Amino acid sequence: MTDLSAFPITKKWPARHPDRIQLYSLPTPNGVKVSILLEETGLPYEVHRVSFDAKDQFSLEFLSLSPNNKIPAILDPNGPEGKPLGLFESGAILIYLASKAGKFLPADTAGRYETLQWVMFQMGGIGPMFGQLGFFHKFAGKDYEDKRPRDRYAEESKRLLNVLDQRLEGRDWVMGDEYTIADIAILPWVRNLVGFYGAGELVEFSRFKNVARVLEAFVARPAVARGLTIPG
Ligand SMILES: N[C@@H](CCC(=O)N[C@@H](CS)C(=O)NCC(=O)O)C(=O)O
């Protein structure tokens, strides 16, 4: 039986199955990237809810694994060389888990880097920009009289959607025929933008037909449907 007692996070969230990957998360657009990938790969895991209401993300136990106080984070009891490995930052986690499973990241070097480039496009562009738009359109920022910040993020979100739409022209997925972690990184954010944030009209989502088509195919996948609600 694997011993994870050296990891302070297991004091607050005890592992019932210490041989499985431990996931600390919530069903937010960054959190579900990892639960969707875990569901797609079939890697055995155990999920723990990090409650923002209880400010769990600022607890010393959580910070010991994720010093940036953000979900998702994982602890793999069986990491490289059989040693436990903790990771935060969803992009790094996606790359790690896809490499571990040998799925959803092309094996050829060029395909691998092309996929990673689109993962980084999400991490550096789509996530931060759509997230800011959410703040100014749906959350506290919506009451600000000055609409320039909202409009700036709406314009940037439209620009990013247009880049994505062009990439998806004539392709089933970001990498063409192959469904990869680039899709798993990007599409939960698009779904969130038009769904939970209610910003579809603001970003003129109806213009981006390829994005809408691929988003529909993504959410129709059973593993995606499951991953989107984890932890329940
Ligand atoms: N770049 C990080 C961003 C993670 C992130 O922003 N997580 C949000 C939820 S989607 C969070 O944990 N927020 C809690 C907080 O900021 O206190 C990643 O991709 O993992």
Give the nearest ligand 1 atom to 91 CA: 19
To 5 degrees, how large is the angle CA 46–CA 52–CA 58? 90
Write down the pLDDT at residue 111.
98
Answer yes or no: is the C-beta of 70 below 6 A from any ligand 1 atom. Answer: yes
**Residue 103 Cβ contacting ligand 1 at under 6 Å:** no
Percent above pLDDT 70 for the chain: 100
Atom 19 of ligand 1, nearest CA residue:
90
For residue 33, the ligand 1 atom closest to its alpha carbon is 19
The answer to whether the CB of 89 is under 6 A from ligand 1 is yes
Long-range CB pairs of 228-232 (<8 Å, 24+ gap) are 228/27, 228/32, 228/35, 228/36, 228/188, 229/27, 230/23, 230/25, 230/27, 230/31, 230/32, 230/35, 230/39, 230/47, 231/25, 231/26, 231/27, 231/35, 231/47, 231/48, 231/49
In the predicted model, what is the mean pLDDT of residues 144-162?
98
How far away, in angstroms, is 70 Cα from ligand 1 center? 4
Residue pLDDT, tens place only, 76-115: 999 999 999 999 999 999 999 999 999 999 999 999 999 9
Q: 135 CB less than 6 Å from ligand 1? A: no
pLDDT category of residue 158 using cuts at 50, 70 and 90: very high
Q: Is the CB of 28 under 6 A from ligand 1?
A: yes
Pairing of strands 21-25, 45-49: parallel
Q: How far is the CA of 232 from the centre of ligand 1 (A)?
A: 18
Cα 71 to ligand 1 centroid, rounded to whole Å:
5
Q: Provide mean pLDDT across the span 41-70.
A: 98
* Residue of minimum CA distance from atom 12 in ligand 1: 70
pLDDT of residue 2: 83
CA-nearest residue, atom 13 of ligand 1:
70
Is residue 21 scored above 70 in pLDDT?
yes
| Substitution site in 70, 88, 89, 189 for ligand 1 pocket (most atoms within 8 Å of beta carbon) | 70
In SS3 terms, the chain reads as CCCCCCCCHHHHCCCCCCCCEEEEECCCHHHHHHHHHHHHHCCCEEEEECCCCCCHHHCHHHHCCCCCCCCCEEEECCCHHHCCEEEECHHHHHHHHHHHHCCCCCCCHHHHHHHHHHHHHHHHHHHHHHHHHHHHHCCHHHHCCCCHHHHHHHHHHHHHHHHHHHHHCCCCECEECECCHHHHHHHHHHHHHHCCCCCCCCCCHHHCHHHHHHHHHHHCCHHHHHHCCCCC
Q: What is the mean pLDDT of the chain?
A: 98
Compute, in angstroms, the gap from residue 231 CA to the centroid of ligand 1.
16
**Taking the model in full, what pTM does it have?**
0.98
Per-residue model confidence as pLDDT tens digits over 168-214: 999 999 999 999 999 999 999 999 999 999 999 999 999 999 999 99
Would you state the pLDDT for residue 25?
98
The pLDDT of residue 1: 67
| Distance in Å, CA 131 to ligand 1 centroid | 10
Q: What is the pLDDT of residues 105-142, one digit of tens each?
A: 999 999 999 999 999 999 999 999 999 999 999 999 99
